[in-house]
Amino acid sequence: MTIHDELKQNKILLSDGAWGTFLQAKGMSPGECPELWNIDHRSDVLNIAESYIKAGSDIIETNSFGASRLKLSQYGLGDRTVEINRAAASISREAAGINKHVAGSVGPTGKMLLMGDVTELELYDSFSEQAIALEKGGADIIIIETMSALDEASIAVKAARENTECVIIVTMTFSKDPQGRFFTMMGVSPAEMVISMKEAGAHIIGSNCGNGIEDMIGVVKEIKAADNNIPVMIQANAGTPEFIDGVTVYRETPGMMASFVPQLIKAGVNILGGCCGTTPEHIRQMGKALGR
Ligand SMILES: [Zn+2]
């Protein structure tokens, strides 16, 4: 069944939790390229994917958030872009089997059009190459996530939509200002995101990372107010990151995150998972709150 059919049945789908913080817990050091682990530490990455399938995820992502050529080039790994993305998707597909979904993760390039760091064509080519490799490796969804600039997100959505058959999800990262309004780092509101991302060709729109899950209720409401029909995906961090003794700590427990699930359902969420600091146990308890 395609994800569209499942969503049409009003089923709320469960996605997965963090990969980056999970890799760190498995011993990845700060200067390492996380995506090279798909090749050099394949079984550790597979173990993360399997943990989320065991926790009940209907959709798991891939360890490819920073695997665009533009980003990999910072590690001198640009020429291995296709190999790394194909490996990432094949690992998640191995864990997911044929009945669960694999969402190829695509993060920001770190280059800003606004600053003249990169051209539109360079961005498009970088995102196309990554999306094609993820699909070839076994992804049936491309998830463009942690975006804050509309222009980069639009180019990523178009590149994935025009060059693959995958379902396209895009999620941006918001924080709440003192007046209680949500904006990305680049000043984009949820309503502006919805308009631009639909125009670019996204099938599913939402938010990931940033603050904890409680603020996501307001984000879902704003998305639904802008478009009542677009499926919404939410992947919150396990709370706002705190820096203690040089270590990033996320304090929201699985139970705390799960306690907000009923309000997110009421607000209209369609796909629910976690971002930084969340673990398989967070996902399992969110699943329980969904009646699994
Ligand atoms: Zn995050």
111 CA distance to ligand 1 middle (Å): 19
Q: Is 193 exposed, middle or buried (0-12, 13-18, 19+ CB in 10 A)?
A: buried
The percent of residues in the chain predicted with pLDDT above 90, rounded, is 89
- Res 2: pLDDT: 83
Distance of alpha carbon 15 from alpha carbon 156, whole angstroms: 21
Count of CB atoms situated within 10 Å of the CB of 9: 7
Average pLDDT over residues 156-170: 98
Q: What is the mean pLDDT of residues 247-264?
A: 95
Query: Which positions ≥6 away from 121 have C-beta within 8 Å?
Result: none
pLDDT for residue 71 is more than 90: yes
240 C-alpha to ligand 1 centroid (Å): 10
CA of 149 to the centre of ligand 1 (A): 16
Residue 1, pLDDT > 80, answer no
Query: Roughly what angle, to the nearest 10 degrees, separates helices 120-137 and 150-163?
Result: 50
Count CA within 13 A, CB hemisphere, residue 125.
8
Q: Which amino acid is at 276?
A: C
Q: How confident is the model at residue 225, as a pLDDT? A: 98
Q: Ligand 1 center to residue 199 CA distance, Å?
A: 25
Q: How many residues does the chain have?
A: 292
- Give residue 41's Cα distance to chain centre: 22
Q: Provide the pLDDT confidence category of residue 235 given band limits of 50, 70 and 90.
A: very high
108-118 pLDDT per residue, tens: 999 999 889 99
Phi and psi angles of residue 145, each rounded to the nearest 5 degrees, phi first? -135, 165
Contact 232, 220 (CB under 8 A): yes
